[in-house]
Each structure stands twice: as structure tokens, then as C-alpha cells.
Amino acid sequence: MIDIAANLYEIGEMPPLAHVPPKMYAWVIRPERYGEPLDSFKVEVVDVPEPGDDEALVYVMAAGVNYNGLWAGRGKPVDVIAQRRKNGDQNSFQICGTDASAIVYKVGRKVSNLKVGDRLVVYGSQWDADCPHVLEGGDPVQSRTYKVWGYETNWGSFAQFSVVQAHQCLPKPAHLTWEEAAAYMASGVCAYRMLHHWSENAVRPDDVVLIWGGGGGVGCMAIQIAKEAGAIPVAVISDDRKIEFCLKLGAAGCINRTHFDHWGKLPPIDDREANDLWLRGSNRESKAGALGFRRAIWKIVGDRRNPQIVIEHPGEDTLPTSMFVCATGGMVVICAGTTGYRATTDLRYVWMQQKRLQGSHAADDIDAANCNALALSKRLDPCLSRTFTWDDLPQAHQLMADNHHPPGNMSVLVGSPRPGLGLGE
Ligand code: NAP
């Protein structure tokens, strides 16, 4: 029997609609625990936050797992708690979580697009609506006020309640469970923007699209979105067991990167031997270099065609190859530097072949709505790989930290008491 005036509800015990208790459970990161996920996350009871005028308080049913919880918990590359405190925030803790399926419990005074009881997915972009750049029609992701919810802001989805800006909320696909619906927005909107936002190089039918980490969160979304646009996705993987997964999503073929050994920074320009090794590899058959990698793309495409778009996120290990194989006039679009930020490139390929290196971050409302439209019409599979209980949230992050997580996207149950719930309107 649920106590309708309770101060605190247990995990999976849903408060009556619109009854907001004063306290909630949350997985909390504090600077004194910075480190790997098994150490940095700890469950605490904290105050339920109050939504502002253009915000909503949502009850989190399930939360998606992504790297933001990892970076925040390490305090690197950015100490997000210190940064928030520098900007005047009193709270010396962080509640992460940049992906959620949720139910609206309270709306701010100026919110007109939501009502209590709405079932949502939430995407992770926040900005100040009064920012002059935004008011003048500028890209909100380029606003000085832009922040990633549940990373650069507090009150993410690893808690029973979360505060979100109303524009972040989109309808939950009725055919998805809570945990499926929580899995795809963070990686999906990012992949959508990478492929569609940069208009001169936006994906077109028949384009070859090279996708690093085809079995990963961004990768599995990019394969589907590229295929949906009529392009030819070529996925890179490190384990042949991911081949079937990528092919089912629409990849034309997969390249196993462990058959190559030219990764990392480029050798010095005057070291002929090292440059030859980079191009040809240490063994043409078993360990090929950049030329062999390009041949592997051609073999899949069935033609000597280079990728018009390269979906980059490993960074330091792969950028030299991405820039090398990218087609003349094509785009390497990058959303992260998971293996390192100080990547190298041979600029001759960039200017002579007029390639574009495009940074891409998160999404705006249009990217997010377009991405969610694919999910609503069953053309984007969330690729939920594994559902974790609330208690196992740090383990889910640790798997990701060790690159031992299964292909696809992972979710953690928060308000939903068990997997398989949430279907229907
Ligand atoms: P993920 O699920 O872990 O996938 C990343 C994939 O990269 C892995 O599956 C792995 O596949 C591959 N990989 C690992 N090490 C590699 C290496 N040395 N060389 C080439 N490939 C390597 O992670 P994700 O969710 O896709 O996120 C990827 C990155 O994008 C993270 O840094 C994340 O923070 C970032 N991200 C950014 C945004 C944004 O808006 N800016 C949004 C979402 C994610 P194989 O081992 O099979 O090759």
C-alpha cells in the first residue's frame, strides 16, 4: 500500500500522479569520490528540485547509460561540479543522466506544450531561451548558454525526479517499453545531427558513410539513420561477433579494425620508413595500414568509392585514417575524442581534396524531433542491449568504461518496477 503523503518513495514505487514528495533517491557523484564508476556513484537521499517557469519536473521511469556519467565521475576532462559552482551553483554534487523516459509530474508557469501525466522521452540539450543569439534565430547549440542536461547541469535522470526544460520533452513511442524509450535519444540525436544538420555535406542517397564503432551507441544509430536516408553505411568494429548486429541494422558490411595497425598519431613527416608503415602496415596480409583500410571500404562498396561522410568519435586513434579515406569534398564529422583529443592529420589531403572536418555536438529541437519521428514511426530501433536494475547503475557504467558493454545502448530501470512495462499510450 503506497502512502500518498510519503516524504520519500522506494525505487519502483510510483507516487500518485502529481504528488511530489520532498525527498528522492539519486545516484550522486561528489568530488571526494572522483574516480571510476564503481567508486564515484553513491545512492543518497536528496531534495526534489523545483522546476522553473519554462521547466518541468518529470518522474523518471528509466534512464539511458552513456559516457557523461563516466566523465563526470572522473572529474575529467572537465570537473563539471567545480565549473557549476564557479558559476554560482550552491550544490557540491552532481546527478548525471542525459537520457530518460519519464512522466510529467509538475510544469512551470510558462510551459504550454506539456501537462501532468504526459509520457515522454527527454533529449539532453539545454539553453537559455533569452540568450540574444537564440532570440536572433542562431543555433542554440552554439549559444554561450548551451549546456548538456545531466552533465553540465545537475538534476539528470539518475534519480527519481529530474528537472528538464520543456522543449527537451518529446512524445514517447507507444510501441517501446520504458527502458527501450530511455536508450536512444542521446546517441540518436547526436548521430542524426552528424548526418543531417551540416547542410552542404548532409547525407544523400547512395553516399558511402563510414561509421566508427558501428556496434556502439552512436554507431548503431548512425547505421540506421544513414540507411534510412538511402546511403551505404560501412561499419567499423573490433570483434567479428558484432558483424551480424551491424548488418541487421542496415550496414553494407563491416571492417574489423584489429586487422590494421596504423592507429594513433601520424609519424613525423620526414620519417619515410614510419610513413610507409602507416600507409602499408607491418604485414600487408595480416596487419594492413591506411591503404589496406581504404581497400576494405572499396571491397564492401564494390567500387573504388570513398566515404562522403565519416562518423568520427574515437578521435586520436582514428582521425588520421578518417581524413585520409574521406572522399574529395566529403566531411569527417566528429562528436568526441574518446581515445584522445590531440589528433593529427595530414593537411595536404584536407586542402587539396577540399575535405571538411566538422565538429558536431548534441542536437537542437529540430534534430531531436526528426530523430524521434524515426523512432515514433518504428524506423529507428533503440538497440537496447541490456537493462540494468537501479542498484546496478555503477556496474553498467563500469562496463562502458572498460569497453566490455554489449553492442547497442543500455538502460537502467528507475521508476519502472520491472522490464517490459510502458507499452501503449
Ligand atoms: P560506445 O557505445 O562505447 O561506442 C563506441 C565504440 O567505439 C565502441 O563500440 C568501440 O567499438 C569503438 N572504439 C573503442 N575504441 C576504439 C578505438 N581505439 N578505435 C576505434 N573505435 C573504437 O559509445 P557511444 O555511446 O557510441 O559514444 C561514443 C563517443 O561519443 C563517446 O565519447 C561519447 O561521449 C560521445 N558522444 C558524444 C555526443 C555529443 O553530442 N557530442 C553524444 C553521444 C556520444 P569497437 O571496439 O567494436 O570498434
DSSP category for residue 288: B
Delimit the domains of the chain by residue range.
Answer: 23-186+365-413, 198-359
The three three-digit cell numbers of residue 325, written as one number: 579515406
**How far, in Å, from the CA of 403 to the mean position of ligand 1?**
9
**Confidence band, pLDDT 50/70/90 cuts, at residue 148:** very high
- Which one, of 174, 170, 202, 205, lies nearest residue 186 by Cα? 170
Q: What is the dihedral of CA 216, 218, 224, 229, to 10 degrees?
A: -150
User: Measured from the CA of 257, which atom of ligand 1 is nearest?
Assistant: 48
Looking at residue 18, its pLDDT comes to 78
**How far, in Å, from the CA of 319 to the mean position of ligand 1?**
13
Task: Give, for ligand 1, the residue of 148, 184, 238, 367 to mutate: max count of ligand atoms closer than 8 Å to Cβ.
Answer: 238
**Confidence band, pLDDT 50/70/90 cuts, at residue 154:** very high
Q: Is the predicted pLDDT of residue 5 greater than 60, yes or no? A: yes
Task: Give, for ligand 1, the residue of 258, 311, 335 to mutate: max count of ligand atoms closer than 8 Å to Cβ.
Answer: 335
pTM given for the model: 0.96
Mean pLDDT of all residues belonging to the chain: 96
User: Measured from the CA of 124, which atom of ligand 1 is nearest?
Assistant: 40
Q: Is the predicted pLDDT of residue 282 greater than 90, yes or no? A: no
The sign one gets for the Cα dihedral 373, 164, 69, 411 is negative
pLDDT digits 0-9 by tens, 62-91: 999 999 999 999 999 899 999 999 999 989
CATH top class, domain 198-359: alpha beta
**How far, in Å, from the CA of 214 to the mean position of ligand 1?**
9
Q: Is the predicted pLDDT of residue 293 greater than 80, yes or no? A: yes
What span, in angstroms and rounded, lies between the C-alpha atoms of 249 and 222? 10
pLDDT over 90, % of the chain = 95
For residue 137, give the amino acid letter. Answer: G
State the architecture of 23-186+365-413 in CATH terms: Alpha-Beta Complex (3.90)
The stretch 356-377 carries a mean pLDDT of 98
**How far, in Å, from the CA of 226 to the mean position of ligand 1?**
17
Residue with CA closest to ligand 1 atom 5: 216
Q: Is the predicted pLDDT of residue 425 greater than 90, yes or no? A: no
DSSP category for residue 246: H
Looking at residue 3, its pLDDT comes to 64
Q: Is the predicted pLDDT of residue 215 greater than 80, yes or no? A: yes
Looking at residue 376, its pLDDT comes to 98
What span, in angstroms and rounded, lies between the C-alpha atoms of 63 and 150? 11
